[in-house]
Structure 1
Amino acid sequence: MACFCKESVSTLALTLPSLQAAATMSMSLSLTDQLGALARMMLNLGVGFNPDPSWLGISFPSLSLNAGAMATLSAFAQLQATMAPLGIDLTTPAGASAFAQLAASIAARLPGLGLGLGANLGAWTQLSAALQACAQIRAGLALDLSAPLGLDVSAWSSFLMQLQMLLPMLSLVSQLGLTGNIAAQLAAMLKVMLGIPMPQFSPGSLSAMASLSSALSAVAQINAMLGINALSLGLPAVQAMVQEQVQATVGAVQSTLGLSLGAAIPFLAKLQLGPTMIATPSNVMAAMNLQLPAMNWQVPAMPSLPVLSIGLPIAALAAQLKAALNLSMALSPCMGGCDMAALGF
């Protein structure tokens, strides 16, 4: 049995006012867009991209699945990867049953939370994004951004295109722990997962659940990056701490590059990009050794599969409740007062 336990519901209900405080406050950070743009550029610079010249002779396996099919299969892998750390293995009948019970209990309890779940909780997400951008920019500033790559990236375009097409399959194989006959193992897992019944959710409820999950994820990231309990401190105090980080990062850009934040963006845009994050030695070797049988499957789109369109938001909520509030989904009946029977279980 697995459920969104009534004790967890009570704890969440007490937390909601702190999360929803964002709806009544102005959280405008004028530098957020520029920080994000600069961070993305630094992530893509690829300083230190030194591929082995022999890689150009690699013949990668070809993928017979189209992009839409691959996206759906990747979503199944993401669903399993999200629930496995919470003790639910969706590739087994027992895990599939537990997830169905969890989904049904969330469907039964979520409307009772009410309390303006549709409120805008985006301030927490904005603060988290600003912190992550600051961290990425500072990491980039530690590199020698003026150093040339020392190679012609255009000569690697075909190699990189082939490798990038295989990255989703590499991720799927890793997340599901597939070895040997990938097609047979994947088909068996999908059969179990496709059989998981999902409850009905209104579009509004799904939107509220996604908003809540996003805010909880942001809170968990803020806690980890600042070493604080964000909800205990409250939004104004956290905003002030993030603003300090932003100003420090702006100062670091100025002192390191001799440029303002706005001027740094066109400066970085002129630098040669290198796909360091894509063409790592581990990715190249994994792709080269990937055993891909013919998989001419007719894979439905994600919105047509309730286990994905409804299951992914449910899994995200369960994961973020654990990450931000340390609330675990009950994997066995509560002792003394479990009300699952009243919910129809």
Structure 2
Amino acid sequence: MTRFTTFAIAASVLLASCGGESSPPAETSAEAPASSGSTSAATEAKKQNAGVVNVYSARHYDSDLALYKQFTEETGIKVNLLEGESDQLIQRMVNEAEFSPADVLITVDAGRLWRGVDRGVFQPLEDQSILNRIPEHFKNPDNYWVALTKRARVIVYNKEDGAPEGLTEYADLADPAYEGEICMRTSTNIYNLSLIASFVSRQGEEGAEEWARGVVSNFARSPQGNDISILKSIAAGECGLTVANTYYIARLGVSENEADREVYNKLGIIFPNQETTGTHVNVSGIGLAKYTKNKENALALIEFLTRPDIQHEFSSGNNEYPAVADAETAPQVIALGDFVADDLNVSELGRNQAAAVRVLDRAGWN
């Protein structure tokens, strides 16, 4: 059962370490250590009275916490952090309405960002210095949120078996030649829903359903597990093909666990649709809360997180690509290879989510 506790704006507890995506909600406050250097007394006094920014976040990484500390060191603004799953945080903001202490919401899928807009928890961003940093297809058309990181959803195979001949498109996964080869996550998985939603946008429900039916007929087993467990099944030869997010693959490659690195070394990657639409990408993103009480501080945090040097650190911490084009990409992500990305506005992944659910239900993708 998920535990929600009262969000204490004046809390001064130490930052708690974080786990993976399934961690339960937890409230922390990012306190900076004492400032060092030659900052003037007036500047230091201003920093000490800079106030707070209350962050609701579905990201759970220690690297994020380090950046919140850096933000406090630079600005004097204390970061109060509430962690939880995306849908729970959105529902919490809906329930709190104008009494919500949230200043920003960070979540990890374009479909969930769309849900936030649909539920009315954001207000538009008007700061052009922030908006100009993010490519048009990686932000809401009405500027309710901007992307922070991106990842590609790629086709994965076992290197020992060799790259399947002629497999270059997502569409090819529906080919009867791959009967009994494909392992996938369930139809309720947000990453699958977003992938199908992109197909709906490009080719309509009928075309997306035809593809989904073909893939279902090629399943090696009933949909189950997560990206990591399925990647391990590919490496073990239990499955021949899957689709997975690039950050899970890169995570295996830099893992301290030797067994994870062995899995990584057995995986081959195909960036699909390079001659057509480009490879499907998804994002994590941030939006300004509708009822923020600390707007200037919230905008300062968003500006900080979209700064190129911080983008490098923020994306590297989860083995993703930065959303800002001129930010440096982590070496373990670069090692996955170059690719042409789909330029579909990622808001479409949320807009077509209900259609994606219908498609997968009709196709028998359990």
Does TM, scored on the shorter chain, surpass 0.5? no
The TM-score, its normalising length taken from structure 1, stands at 0.26
The TM-score, its normalising length taken from structure 2, stands at 0.25
Higher share in helix: 1
Higher share in strand: 2
